């Protein structure tokens, strides 16, 4: 059952309550539809349509929340990186997020961004901009955009390989060491 008890929702921020309920259902592996989210949140079956035109719109809103959470994880206690080792920690945080929240990660990256969905596009762009800024700070003479794509691709690929069971690890530290080593191997080539 959702953190919102059935029939307990009467006022306040309906959109936030629906998102919270949908996020909980997603991360608990429960299939959800707008009707299921409404039922779990204790609101009428038509209430979600005030904020989301369909399930895709709800998933897009969840993806935006996921991008914001991932950005918070990447920035947690960190300034801009000063070295390739610091950059590798971004990759470690990225993969850790994916492994900790696989269902949300799947929603974030499982479908192409709809350019008409401004919030989702902005949230994804903010992630790319953070990585580009970080890479530009460490490698000021390089093409930050190309490096950002390469770094994101490496971290994302490692996350997917772990999620798909293609790379196995016995512990979170083993995963972190693998990600760190891969990232440092790529950034040290040609140095």
Q: 122 and 79, same structural domain?
A: yes
Q: Tell me which residue of 49, 48, 36 sits closest to 6, measured CA to CA.
A: 36
Q: 166 and 97, same structural domain?
A: yes
Domain assignment present for residue 132? The answer is yes
Domain assignment present for residue 125? The answer is yes
Domain assignment present for residue 5? The answer is no
Domain assignment present for residue 146? The answer is yes
Q: 101 and 21, same structural domain?
A: no
Q: 78 and 43, same structural domain?
A: no
Domain assignment present for residue 4? The answer is no
In this prediction, residue 111 carries a pLDDT of 75
Q: Within a 13 Å sphere around the CA of 20, how many CA atoms are in the beta-carbon half?
A: 13
For 166, counting Cβ atoms within 10 Å of its Cβ (0-12 exposed, 13-18 middle, 19+ buried), the class is: exposed
Q: 62 and 45, same structural domain?
A: no
Q: Which helix (H) or strand (E) holds 81?
A: none
Domain assignment present for residue 7? The answer is no
Number of domains in the chain: 2
C-alpha distance from residue 36 to each of 25, 41, 42, 132 (Å):
9, 8, 10, 39
- Contact between 87 and 154 under an 8 Å Cβ cutoff? The reply is no
Please state the pTM of the whole predicted model.
0.86
Q: 19 and 111, same structural domain?
A: no
Q: 63 and 141, same structural domain?
A: yes
Q: 100 and 46, same structural domain?
A: no
Range of the domain at 26: 14-50
Domain assignment present for residue 6? The answer is no
Q: 105 and 37, same structural domain?
A: no
CATH code for the domain in which residue 165 is found: 1.10.357.10
- Contact between 18 and 36 under an 8 Å Cβ cutoff? The reply is no
Q: ∠121-127-131 over CA atoms, to 5°?
A: 140
Residues 6+ apart with CB under 8 A from 112: none
Distance CA 119, CA 94 (A): 21
Secondary structure (DSSP) of 40-73: HHTS-TTGGGGT-SSHHHHHHHHHHHHHHHHHHH
pLDDT tens sequence across 29-62: 998 899 999 999 999 999 999 999 999 899 999 9
Q: 125 and 153, same structural domain?
A: yes
Domain assignment present for residue 121? The answer is yes
DSSP 78: -
pLDDT tens sequence across 82-138: 899 998 999 999 999 999 999 999 999 887 766 766 788 888 888 888 888 888 888
In this prediction, residue 4 carries a pLDDT of 44
Q: 71 and 33, same structural domain?
A: no
Q: 83 and 30, same structural domain?
A: no
Give rounded-to-5 percent helix, strand, coil for the chain.
70, 0, 30
Number of residues assigned to the chain: 191
24 — pLDDT class (breaks 50, 70, 90): very high
């Amino acid at each position: 059952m959702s953190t919102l008890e059935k029939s307990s929702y009467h006022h306040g921020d309906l959109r936030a309550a629906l998102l919270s309920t949908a996020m909980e259902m997603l991360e608990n592996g429960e299939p959800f539809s707008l009707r299921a989210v409404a039922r779990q949140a204790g609101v009428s079956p038509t209430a979600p349509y005030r904020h989301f035109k369909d399930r895709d719109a709800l998933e897009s809103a969840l993806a935006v929340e996921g991008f914001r959470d991932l950005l918070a994880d990447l920035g947690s206690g960190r300034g801009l990186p000063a070295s390739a080792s610091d950059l590798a920690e971004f990759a470690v945080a990225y993969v850790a997020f994916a492994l900790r929240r696989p269902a949300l990660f799947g929603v974030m990256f499982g479908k192409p961004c709809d350019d008409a969905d401004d919030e989702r596009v902005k949230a994804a762009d903010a992630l790319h901009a953070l990585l580009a800024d970080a890479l530009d700070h460490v490698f000021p003479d390089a093409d930050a955009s190309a490096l950002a794509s390469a770094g994101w691709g490496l971290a994302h690929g490692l996350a997917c390989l772990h999620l798909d069971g293609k790379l196995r690890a016995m512990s979170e530290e083993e995963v972190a060491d693998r990600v760190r080593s891969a990232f440092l191997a790529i950034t040290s080539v040609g140095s």
